[in-house]
Amino acid sequence: MTVGFSFRDKVAVVTGASSGIGMALAKQLANEGVKLVLHGRREDRLRALEVELPSVHWLSGDITESDSANALLNCALNWYGHVDFAINNAGINHTGSIDAVDIDKLCQMVRVNVEAAYRFTYTFLKYFCDQERGHLVHTTSVMGYKVRESAGGYAGTKHAVEALCEALRLELARSPVKISCVAPGLVQTELHRDIAVHPSVSRNIARPLAADDVARAIVWVLSQPEHVNVPQLVVLPQDHPI
């Protein structure tokens, strides 16, 4: 975290908070004094976070529902009166070769990784613009920059979010509203639990990132002074091939 910055009494909305990077981020922000509104699919884990952490409220359900982003914003405003940070970690991964890919799963991934991300983006940016401050962060992927075989669909969803955020950052460059994308390489989370050969094996990565590694990077991005924006940050394991 940047020296001299305080998260005390800040309010953050975090999606994908019932596992992986989102859960790690929720815990790190709570430890810094941030008040939280969380979203995830696993209600039992969100309830556990509510017990474990101070100042937590949550909503569970399908992030692709058209009113999900508005519901999160309204929840935060009802409980805390404002929002400082909106961080989207919700995402799923479906990969496969041309002859093996499941088109229905691929399209569901697009709805989660792109459509829901776009709804989240515009909902919170409109609010931040009216408020004249705020910071939107998307957890994307190094595959938003570099693709690999059999993962074009997933990479495409990350390219889509990176492109949107870059265009919006240019649009808002003269405003106090910030947009950032944090793009990790391979992270040891549940995202790869259904893949037959884990990417750490297929890509020969001895030590993938932990969710806490990426969460720390996001906290650092959020803690920058008002005049400093970090639009893109790539975080990789030391031996991650690009």
Closest CA to 42 of 82, 78, 15: 15
Kindly name the residue from 80, 127, 145, 154 that is annotated as catalytic.
154
| Cα–Cα distance, 184 to 130 (Å, whole number) | 31
Both tokens of 74, joined, read 């309204």
DSSP annotation string for 128-191: HHHHT-EEEEEE--GGGT---TT-HHHHHHHHHHHHHHHHHHHHTTTSSEEEEEEEES-B-SGG
Radius of gyration of the chain (CA): 17
122 included as an active-site residue:
no
Q: How many CA atoms lie within 13 A of 105 on its CB side?
A: 11
Reduced 3-state DSSP string for 208-224: CECHHHHHHHHHHHHCC
Q: Which are the catalytic amino acids?
A: 154
